[in-house]
Structure 1
Amino acid sequence: MGGLRELAAPFVALGPSGVAVRDRLKHLTAEDEHVLRLVGDHLGTVASRDLKARCAVGLDHDAGGWAARKRAVTGVSSSRWAGSITKATHDQWALARRSQLAHLQSLEAGVRMIAHRLSLPVGEKGTKHAPGGYASRREWHAKARRLHVLTDRLQAVRADWEAGRVRVVRGGKRLLNTRHHLEAARLTEEQWRTRWQAERRFLQADGESGKRFGNETIRVTPDGEVSLKLPAPLAYLANAPHGRYVLASRVAFAHRGVEWADRISANRAVAYRIHEDPARGRWYLTASWTTPVVRTVPLATVRAGGVVGVDTNADHLAAWRLDTHGNPVGAPRRFGYDLTGTAAHRDAQIRHALTGLLHWARRHHLALAIEDLDFTGEATREKHGRRKRFRTLVSGMPVARLRARLVSMAAALGIPVVAVDPAYTSRWGAQHWQQPLTTANRKATRHDAAAVAIGRRALGHPVRRRTAPPPHDRSDRAGHRTVQAPPGIPGREGPRPRIPGPRTRSVRAGRGAKAGDQDTQHRSRCPAEHESWQQDPLPLSI
C-alpha cells in the first residue's frame, strides 16, 4: 500500500457558466444572403489583419496596444464591431497559447518516456506503473530515431513558447489541410472554397447590458426581427434608419426561449453569431449569454439521500444506486451509446444515454457520482507501446464531451454531480464487490463493481465492503472484529464495545466482557472459569 498515491477529496461539480441556443434563419431573400456575405467577408478580412497584429506583438501586449488596435479597426467598421473583433482576437490568441502549452507538455512526456524505455535492456518486462524495454533491436533503433525527431520538435515548440509566438489559422487548421486531400474528403475545389470562406467570415457581436434588447450591433426584437449595424464602408446597403439592415427572416428560440425573452425585455446582454452552413445551404443565428455562478449544494446535503455511482466506459455508462450507508440498492443499470459515425450522431448518442441516466436519478431524488477523468496524458503511444487496442479504447472514451454534457444537463434538472478521484476504482471495485454482488440470476460485471466503488467514495465510505465480525470464540485466529466504522474513528477495527443492559445469556448485564477480552476465554487462572452464576432478578422485558 506504500506505492499508492494520495486520493483527492470528492467535491460537488460547478454548474455551467453560460447558455447558447440556436435557431435557423428561414425565408431569407437572395438580397439578405448577399448582404450577409458581403458584411461577413469584410469583417473577416478586418479580423484577420487584427489577429496578425496581435500575434506580432506576442508577450508585449498591453492595454495601450489593445486600444491602438481597436482604433485601427474602428476606422474601417464601427466602434461596436471593433470591440467584438478585438475581443475575439484576444480570446483566439489566448486559446492558441493554452494549446501550445498542452502540446509542449505532451512532447516532454513523450521524450521522457522514450528515453526511459531506451535506457532499459531489450526485452525487459515492465510493471504496472512503468513500461519495460522495447521488444527487439529493430524497434529500439526506430524509437531512437523517433526520440531525435521529438527532441527537435520540442526545442522548436519551447522556443516559440518562450518568445510568445503562436500559430493560428482563421477558419481552422483541419479545413486548411483538407485543401490538399480533396479526393479523400469527397469535395471539389469550389465546394472547399465555399466552406473556407464561410468559416472565415466574422458575423458575431458581444452584448451589452443597458442597451436596447441587450445588443446594439446585432439586434433581435422580442417578436423575432433580426437587424444588424452595417460597417461604415457598406452603409449604402442599409434598408432601415441609422445604417441598419433588417433581415426578412424571423427567429423563435424553441429551447430556453422564455429565458431569452426575459433577458432582452430587461435589456440584459445577449451575444449573437450568424453562421452559414454551405453543406446544407442554411443560415443560423446563435444567441448566448452568461449565467451567474450558482452556489453549489453542500456535500453533506448531497450525501443525505444516497447517490448513483456512474462508471464511464467506451460504449456505455454503468450505474448503480447506493443508499446513505454505501449499500447497493436494486439492480445495476446500463446506458449504452455508439460512438461510430458522424459527429452529430455521436453527440446524439451521448445525449440520449445521459437523458436516460438523469431521468432515472431524478425519479429516485438522487445525486450522481462520477469519476473526475482526464485521459490526455494516458493515450500516448509512447507509454503504452504496441497496445494499440488499449490506446484506441482509452482515446475513444468521450470524457470531455460527457463531462460537459452531464454537468449542463444535470444543472437544468437540478441534480447535483459529485466528482471523485478515479484512482483504483475499477481494481478495488472488482476485488471487493464483483463477487458478492453476483447471484444466480445476475452476474455483476467489473464496470458494475466500479460504479459501486465510485458511489462509496462519493459518500465518504471506503471502497472495501463491510465485513461481518468473526466468531467470538475464534477472535484470536480471525483477526479484527469489524471495519464498519467510518475512517478516522479510533479503534474502528478493534473489538466491539460492551453494550450495557439486561441480557438473555447467563452473564448479568454489565458483567460480561467484550469479545476481545482475554478473560472470557477458557484458560487457566481466568475469572471466567471460576465465576459462579446467579439469575438476574430483573425481568427481561425492562
Structure 2
Amino acid sequence: FVVPGPSGVAVRSGLKGLTGQDETVLRRVGGLLGSLAAGDLKARCSAGLKHDGEQWARRKRALTGESSARWAGSITRATHDQWALARRGQLAHLQILQAGIEAIRRRLAQPLGAKGVKGSPGGYRSRREWFAKTRRLHVLEDRLERVRADFEAGRVHVVRGGRKLLRTRHHLQAAGLTEEQWRLRWRAERWFLQADGESGKRYGNETIRISPEGKVSIKLPAPLAGLANAPHGRYVLACRARFRHRGAQWADRVAANRAVAYRLHYDTGRGRWYVTASWQIPPVRTVPLETARAGGLAGVDMNADHLAAWRLDTHGNPVGEPRRFDYALTGSARHRDAQVRHALIRLLHWAAHHSLALAIEDLDFAAEKTREKHGRRKRFRKLISGLPVARLRARLVSMAAELGVTVVAVDPAYTSRWGAQHWQKPLTSTTRKATRHDAAAVAIGRRALGHRIRRRTAPPPHDRSDRAGHRTAQAGRDDRGREGPRPRLPGPRTRSVPPGRGAKAGDQCAHNRSGHAAEHESWRQDLLPLSP
C-alpha cells in the first residue's frame, strides 16, 4: 500500500539573548504550571476508566482559578494524552507477556533436545535450562496477573519527567552527573510551558503569542500576574524567535491568525531555551499504487548500519548498480538522529533524481525483542533492539512528502531469506559482489511491483512445447510483446546469422516446426474498410 503523508508539522527555534529576568520568569511560570499538571495527572489516574466529560470539566474549572482558562485547557489535554499513551503502553506490555508465556509453555511441553520445525522452536537443550525456564514462567505469570489487573481496573503508572531519569538518581556516577545537575534536569523535565493554538485569535495563539517579527509574549498565570511587563497580564521576552525551517509557512499562518501551538523547553546540556511551533496540515494526497509502479521503483532494505537500495524496472528486473547509504548509531541520541536524517536525505535525493518511488518493509519488532522468541541468540536480539525502525519510518515518510517521493510499504515476510536464495547468486559477477541486503532490496521492490520474488515460477517443461506454461515471472501469459523478436544489433549475434538477417527470429511457429504455415500457404492482403 502507498504510505500516507504526515498530518502535522513541527519546527524549532532557539531563544537567544534572554535576560536574567526573562529566565527567572520562565522558570517560575514553568514550575507553577508543572505543579498544577502533576496534580491534574494524579486526579486523572485516580479516576481510571470512570472518567467522563463532567469530571474533565471539573478538573478544568479547578485549574482555571489557579492559572487561566486557556492554561487549564492545555494542561487537561496534555494530561489526557499522557494517560492514553500510558494505557497503550500497558496494553503492549500485556501482549508481550502473553506471547512470552505461550512460547515458554510450548517449549516446556516438548522433550529435551527436540528439534524445532519451521517457524517454531523445539525443546530446551538441557535439564538445567528447562528448570530455569519453569521458574521464569512463574515470574512472567505473576507479572501478567498484576498487569492484567491494572489494565482491567484502568490503573496506569506514569512518572512526570520520565522513569528513566528518575532511576538515574541512584546511578549518578555511571551517568556522569552531579546531584545538582540531575535536579536541574529533573525540574526542567517537569516544567509545563506549552499552549494549544486557537484559530481566529491574534497570531493563532492567545497564551503564547509570537508575532511575524518574532516577538514572544506569554500570558502569565493569575498568581504571577505581578511579573507582567506588558498590558493585560502579559510578559514580553527580550529576544526574537526566528524559524529558519518552514519559516514562510509559519509566517503565513500567523499573519492569517490560524492555529499554531507552541512549547517552550530548556536544554540543560546546552543551557539554552528553545521554542517549538507545531500546526496541522491537510493530509497529503497519495497517488494510486498503479501510478507509483508505472516508472519502476527502488527497493530499500533497512539494516542496523546502512540502507541498501536497488532500482528495478516495471518488470521487476534490477537496473544499474546497488546503492548503500551508511549511518552510525553511536554516540548521543542527537548524533544518532542526525546520522539517520543524513542517510535518508541522500536516499531521497537519489530517488527524486531518477523519479522513483521507494518500497520499504512495514516492520514492527515489538514482539521480536523478547528472549523467549530467540532464546540464547543474544547478539541477534541486541541487533533487533538497535534497529531504529520507528524513527526511520517516521523520518522517511515526512521527508519524502516534502520532496514528492512516493513510499510504498510491503509485507516483510521472508524478503531477506528469499532474496538471498533467488537473487544473490545471479546478481553476483566478477566485478560486482551482491550482498544479502542487496538481494533483499530486490525482493522488496519486486513485492511492491506485484511480482513474485522467485525468478522462475514453474518447473521446466517436459519438452520444448509451451503447454507447461510460461516459465518466467517477469511477464505474464497475456502480456503483449513477450514473444517478440529481439532488436537487430550491429555485428553478428550468432556464428551463422549475419546482421540484418533472421526475420523470423521471434516467430515461435517457425522454430523447429515442420510444415510451417508461412512456407506452404499463400499470403493475401485483407481488404481495407471503405468507411470507419
TM-score (normalizing by structure 2): 0.90
Distance in 2 of aligned mates of 1:428 and 1:486: 20
Q: Which of 483, 498, 507 lines up with 2:472 in the alignment?
A: 483
Match of 2:58 in 1: 68
Query: One-letter code of the match for 1:66?
Result: W
Contact 1:213 1:266 in 2 (8 A): yes
Give the Cα–Cα distance (whole angstroms) in 1 for the partners of residues 519 and 50 of structure 2: 93
Deviations 1:175-219 (A, max 9, x none): 111111111111111111111110101000000001000000000
Change (3 A) 1:126 1:245: same
Tell whether the 8 Å contact from 2:261 to 2:278 is kept in structure 1 after alignment.
yes
**1:191 corresponds to which residue?**
181
Distance in 1 between the 2:121 and 2:168 partners? 36
Q: Distance in 2 between matches of 1:472 and 1:535?
A: 29
The alignment status of 1:27 with 2:28, answered yes or no, reads: no
Distance 2:175 2:260 in 1: 37
Partner of 2:132: 142
- The SS at the match of 1:253 is coil
1:481 CA displacement: 3.9
Whether the 8 Å contact between 2:2 and 2:406 is mirrored in structure 1 is yes
Aligned partners of 1:534 and 1:136: how far apart in 2? Answer: 77
In 2, the alpha carbon distance for the partners of 1:146 and 1:532 equals 78
Distance in 2 separating the partners of 1:221 and 1:215: 10
Distance 2:517 2:244 in 1: 84
CA contact under 8 A between 2:300 and 2:310: conserved in structure 1?
A: yes
The residue aligned with 1:462 is 452
1:90 matches 2:80: yes
In the alignment, does 2:47 pair up with 1:57?
Answer: yes
8 Å Cα contact 2:48-2:155 kept in structure 1: yes
1:101 equivalenced with 2:91 (yes/no): yes
**Contact 1:380 1:391 (C-alpha < 8 Å) held by counterparts:** yes
Q: Deviations over 1:367-420 (max 9, x none)?
A: 100111111111211111001111111111111110001001101111010000
Q: 1:209 aligns with which of 189, 195, 199?
A: 199
Structure 1 equivalent of residue 238 of structure 2: 248
Question: What residue identity is the alignment partner of 2:472?
Answer: V
Q: Is the 8 A contact 1:496 1:514 kept in 2?
A: no
1:257 counterpart (247, 250, 271): 247
What are the residue-to-residue correspondences of 1:158-169 with 2, within 5 Å? 158-169=148-159
**Aligned residue number for residue 525 of structure 1:** none
- Summarize the Cα distance change of 1:479–1:537 in structure 2 as closer, same or farther, 3 Å threshold: closer
User: Which aligned segments of 4 or more residues in structure 1 are displaced greater than 6 angstroms?
Assistant: 467-472
Q: Which amino acid aligns with 2:331?
A: G
How far off is 1:284 after superposition?
Answer: 0.6
What number of residue pairs does the alignment pair up? 505
Q: Secondary structure at the match of 1:12?
A: coil
Partner of 2:282: 292
The one-character-per-residue Cα deviations of 1:489-514 (angstroms, maximum 9, x if unpaired) are 68x9xx989xxxxx977xxx99x599
Instruction: Give me the whole-angstrom Cα distance separating, in 1, the residues matched to 2:276 and 2:503.
Output: 75
- Alignment match, 1:365: 355
Residue 361 of structure 1 deviates from its aligned partner by: 0.4
Conserved? CA contact 1:307–1:366, under 8 Å: yes
**What does residue 334 of structure 1 align with?**
324
Please state how far the C-alpha of 1:222 moved relative to its aligned partner.
Answer: 0.4
Q: More displaced, 277-286 or 66-75?
A: 277-286
CA–CA separation in structure 2 for the residues paired with 1:471 and 1:74: 81
Counterpart check, 1:422 vs 2:412: yes
Structure 1 gaps, min length 5: 1-10, 498-502, 521-527
Name the CA shift for 1:471/1:126 in 2 (closer, same or farther; >3 Å).
Answer: closer
Helix, strand or coil at the partner of 2:89: helix
In 1, are the aligned partners of 2:300 and 2:308 still within 8 Å (CA)?
Answer: yes
- What is the one-letter code of the residue matched to 1:137? R
In 1, the alpha carbon distance for the partners of 2:436 and 2:72 equals 56
The correspondence for 1:180, drawn from 170, 175, 194, is: 170
Q: CA deviation at 1:483?
A: 3.3
2:529 counterpart residue number: none
Match of 1:12 in 2: 2
Aligned-partner Cα distance in 2 for 1:533–1:51: 87
* Offset at residue 467 of structure 1 (A): 7.7
Specify the alignment match of 2:161 in structure 1: 171
Q: Output one character per residue of 1:230-249: Cα deviation in whole Å (capped at 9) or x when no partner.
A: 00011000000000000001
- For 2:189, the aligned partner's letter is E
Give the whole-Å Cα distance in 2 for the aligned partners of 1:217 and 1:400.
33
Q: TM-score, normalised by structure 1?
A: 0.88
Using the TM superposition, give the Cα deviation of residue 294 of structure 1 relative to its aligned residue in structure 2, in angstroms.
2.0
- Structure 2: runs of 5+ lacking an equivalent: 485-501, 526-532
- Matched residue SS, 2:279: strand
What one-letter code is carried by the residue in structure 1 that aligns with 2:423? Answer: W
Tell me the SS of whatever aligns to 1:331.
Answer: strand
C-alpha separation between the residues in 2 aligned to 1:532 and 1:137? 77
CA distance in 2, matches of 1:339, 1:107: 29
* Residue number in structure 1 paired with 2:439: 449
Secondary structure of 2:405's match? coil
- The alignment status of 1:385 with 2:375, answered yes or no, reads yes
Conserved? CA contact 1:475–1:481, under 8 Å: no
Conserved? CA contact 2:29–2:221, under 8 Å: yes
For 2:117, what is the secondary structure of its paired residue?
coil
Q: Which amino acid aligns with 2:333?
A: A
1:67-112 deviations in whole A, cap 9, x for unaligned?
1100000010000100100000010000000000001111111111
- Rounded Cα–Cα distance in structure 2 between residues aligned with 1:241 and 1:14: 45
Aligned-partner Cα distance in 2 for 1:470–1:108: 47
For the residues of structure 2 that align with 1:257 and 1:147, how far apart are their CA atoms? Answer: 55
Whether the aligned pair in 1 keeps the contact of 2:451 and 2:474 (CA below 8 Å) is no
Q: Partner amino acid for 2:471?
A: T
- Asked if 1:276 corresponds to 2:269, the answer is no
Partners in 2 of 1:257 and 1:293 — Cα distance? 20
Alpha-carbon offset, residue 533 of structure 1: 10
Choose which of 26, 32, 38 in structure 2 pairs with 1:36: 26
CA contact (8 A) 2:15 2:274 kept: yes
* AA at the equivalent of 2:131: H
Q: Percent identity?
A: 71
Instruction: Identify which range, 97-106 or 122-131, moves more after superposition.
Output: 122-131
